[in-house]
Amino acid sequence: MMRDAEQIIRTEYSELMQKSYIDYAMSVIIARALPDVRDGLKPVQRRVLYDMHELGILHDKPYRKCARIVGDTMGKYHPHGDSSIYDALVVMAQEFKKGMPLVDGHGNFGSIEGDGAAAMRYTEARLKKIAQEAYLSDLDKDVVDFGPNFDETEKEPVVLPVRVPNILINGAEGIAVGMATSIPPHNFGEVIEGVKAYMQNPDINTEQMMEYIKGPDFPTGGIVVNQDELRAIYATGTGKIKIRGKVEVEKGKGGKDKIVITEIPYTMVGLGIGKFLNDVGNLAETKKTTDIVDISNQSSKEGIRIVLELKKGADAERICNLLYKKTRLEDTFGVNMLAVADGKPETMGLVPMIRHHVRFQFEIATRKYRTLLQRELEKREIQEGLIRACDVIDLIIEILRGSKHIKEARACLIEGEIGNIRFKSEASRRQAAELRFSEPQAKAILEMRLYKLIGLEMEALRKEYDATLRQIKRYETLLGSRKAMANAIIKELDAFQKEYAVARKTAIENGKEIVLEEPKMEELDVVFLMDRFGYAKTIDVAAYERNKEAADSESRHVIVCKNTDKIGLFTNQGQMHLLKVADLPYGKFRDKGQPVDNLSNYNSSEDDLLFVGSLRGMHEKKLLFATKTGMLKIVEGAEFDVSKRTTAATKLLEGDEAVRIGWYEEGLHLVLQSKKGMFLRIEASSVPEKKKGAVGVRGIKLSEGDEVTEVHLFMPGESRRVALKDKELELNRLRVGSRDTKGVRHT
């Protein structure tokens, strides 16, 4: 039996990966993460709203379980996880996240403080009236295209016929592949005014548009404090908006004031409130301020109310500035107005977004009125047929009574065929042969009920016909004149504005730059003590002198420094972690101290600590570095005076690590000791000075599998012994050799 040969397609792997990744990226961008500029909705939001509309969960109908909505959406339109669908549904119902919520939620839909919504089996929802009227109406009038769903068993709208610029009203946030969108919400009434202004003047610029749309309007209120920068942000579609919470100072009894936060920055919504409370607590704990006595979150359904109680006579203005500077009470909202336009992602300013919206409105309106005109023309045709039929009703009855089948009667009405029909008179026959009703008219005549022949019914039919003619004329006028169409769109926008516009919540101003004068720390001499367990503290110099013997014996590192100094912690991985002396506990000699792991980026469970020194003390000194592979170098101490909390102190080759870091002095000698018992004594002056980013030079030639385990630093004449298996080796008696030699074996 012959087997079909396998078809093997040979292709370049990199090209295949590139094409596949680009396809995946575009799928995420277009079909998941970014909103469409026309309706301002991501696919999951669009599908949820459409499904609710299809299920008939309207604003004036009872609530339905969210689990039903999520399941139906997932089964018909959105074949992804139920959590993503429910999350989208919840956000559309949260008034503190959306400028204009589209879903009316019933039950626990989360809170502004970051509490999650209850499970979908407990919550219920229905559409808001605005969503029904401005987002989902006229879907039966061919206003938008429909496409197949994921398994081609249903049809879903490619875009919803949204009548208002939702992308600006509700904003959008989304992370795609290689790009992200972040559009702030705006005031409903202002945006409508902006759209009307554009329709009256398509050449309007950003500055003119901002006379109507003043800036973002966050549902949490707050204050935008960089008004002058908004024009550039709205012109380019990118930038940073500075927002502050709204703060009031309430006078308390006995001169004890209260700072009350009544509105928060939009970026603080969710877990940010809890973090803010922690940050304020940390300010008090770290003594950044001693004026805050208590903090309480008294927020309720009525709104945000965070109360900070102050000491008597405290400077409330300074504390407010401290909160703005050190916490997220002042924050930035990164703007990147990216949306899908004409099938591709595009960053747009304010005016281009409105331009896309208006173009979409004309497209919707044109398709709507074309559909309505076609319906009225069909209605007119039938009405004309019925009116004409009523004038010859006796003849039509005669035709019906003389026909054996309905086909014969229909053929007579449409084409005048009289062959098989019996007539009472020849005149009737001749008259019937001249009938030429259209097919829809003939169908309507045959289905007409006898009561339609009553005089009043005939009069009503003629009135309907006159109304149909008026509608046809109106629709033809709208379709024939862009100005008339624009007026119809504006009239509809006016109705939405009248019913749904609300007062602005976010104030917009040019706030003063916060200047916070840090109280200058009085510079003092202190002694840094760190024990072998990594606990560190600082004590007064006099306290050290009194306990010198105990301090030196119990401490692994003892450094005299200033309280404004920084301590460098050098590790075997070639990293230097900075530790501020001011962050260390300052107190009594017998106080325990704090682990340096908690006060710096150093992790004692991962790295070994090789050297500790004050940055100020390094300025006039040099450090000597030695590594496992025998690399040596000397570095100026001033190179380590950096501001980064963690920096590379030396460059290490792959698999290498530092073995010894110590002070370099004139006349210093060093002995390199290897795992296989090789010892090499050299003068430290033979080691060249290098930058901290250099690898260094080779100090000892190592055999295969050998490595440096110890590096001993000492001055000539200084006694230094090393214990071997059954003897001690006096390092000072070793012969001084040359750098980059093998040394001698001692075991």
Kind of pairing, strands 535-540 and 586-587? Answer: parallel
pLDDT of residue 1: 44
Q: Over the range 83-109, which residues count as b (16 or more CB within 10 Å of their CB) and which as e?
A: eebbebbbbbbbebbbbbbbbbbebeb
pLDDT of residue 133: 95
Mean pLDDT of 43-48: 96
Query: Is 475 a catalytic site residue?
Result: no
Are 411 and 356 spatial neighbours (Cβ–Cβ below 8 Å)?
no
Total H helices, total E strands in the chain: 22, 36
pLDDT at 198 exceeding the cut of 80: yes
How many Å apart are CA 630 and CA 643, to the nearest integer? 30
Distances (CA, A) of 663 to 622, 738, 739: 6, 21, 19
Least confident of 189-198, 386-395, 564-573: 386-395
Query: Each residue of 461-500: pLDDT tens digit?
Result: 899 999 999 999 999 999 999 999 999 999 999 999 999 9
DSSP letters spanning 206-222: HHHHTTT--S---TT--
Please report where in the chains the tokens 């004590």 appear, as a residue. 539
Spatial neighbors of 621 by CB under 8 A, at least 6 apart, are 637, 663, 664
Mean pLDDT of the chain: 90
DSSP letters spanning 246-311: EEEEE--GGGEEEEEEEE--GGGTTTHHHHHHHHHHHHHHTTS-S-EEEEEE--BTTB--EEEEEE
* pLDDT tier for residue 519 given thresholds of 50, 70 and 90: low
Distances (CA, A) of 104 to 72, 140, 445: 18, 24, 47
pLDDT at 142 exceeding the cut of 60: yes
pLDDT at 165 exceeding the cut of 80: yes
Spatial neighbors of 536 by CB under 8 A, at least 6 apart, are 528, 529, 530, 579, 584, 593, 594, 595, 596, 599
pLDDT of residue 517: 64
Please report where in the chains the tokens 């295949």 appear, as a residue. 16
Query: Each residue of 26-35: pLDDT tens digit?
Result: 877 777 889 9
Query: Each residue of 313-353: pLDDT tens digit?
Result: 888 888 898 899 889 999 999 999 999 999 899 999 999 99
pLDDT of residue 412: 86
pLDDT of residue 394: 84
* pTM for this prediction: 0.75
Distances (CA, A) of 480 to 200, 488, 603: 18, 13, 75
DSSP letters spanning 60-126: TS--EEHHHHHHHHHHHT--S-HHHHHHHHHHTT-TTT-SS--EEEES----TTSPPPPPTTT-EEE
Domain annotation for the chain: domains and CATH numbers: 41-161 (3.90.199.10), 246-328 (3.30.1360.40), 356-498 (1.10.268.10), 525-745 (2.120.10.90)
Are 206 and 231 spatial neighbours (Cβ–Cβ below 8 Å)?
yes
Taken as a whole, the chain contains a residue count of 747
Give the 3-state DSSP-derived string for 342-408, with helices as H, strands as E and coil as C. CCEEEECCHHHHHHHHHHHHHHHHHHHHHHHHHHHHHHHHHHHHHHHHHHCHHHHHHHHHHCCCHHH
pLDDT of residue 266: 94
H or E stretch covering 155: strand 155-157
Distances (CA, A) of 324 to 327, 515, 516: 6, 10, 9
pLDDT of residue 41: 95
Query: Each residue of 342-393: pLDDT tens digit?
Result: 989 999 999 999 999 999 999 999 999 999 999 999 999 999 888 888 888 8
Catalytic choice (13, 50, 63, 122): 122
Query: Each residue of 708-737: pLDDT tens digit?
Result: 999 999 998 888 888 888 888 888 888 999
pLDDT of residue 617: 85
One-letter amino acid of 430: R
pLDDT at 518 exceeding the cut of 70: no
Mean pLDDT of 406-417: 86
Shortest CA distance to 554 belongs to which of 562, 563, 544? 544
How many Å apart are CA 31 and CA 429, to the nearest integer? 66
**How far apart, in Å, do the first and last CA atoms of the chain sit?**
77
pLDDT of residue 283: 83
Are 174 and 487 spatial neighbours (Cβ–Cβ below 8 Å)?
no
pLDDT at 25 exceeding the cut of 90: no
Percent of the chain with pLDDT over 70: 98
DSSP 8-class letter at 740:
T
Radius of gyration, alpha carbons of the chain: 41
pLDDT of residue 4: 56
DSSP 8-class letter at 629:
T
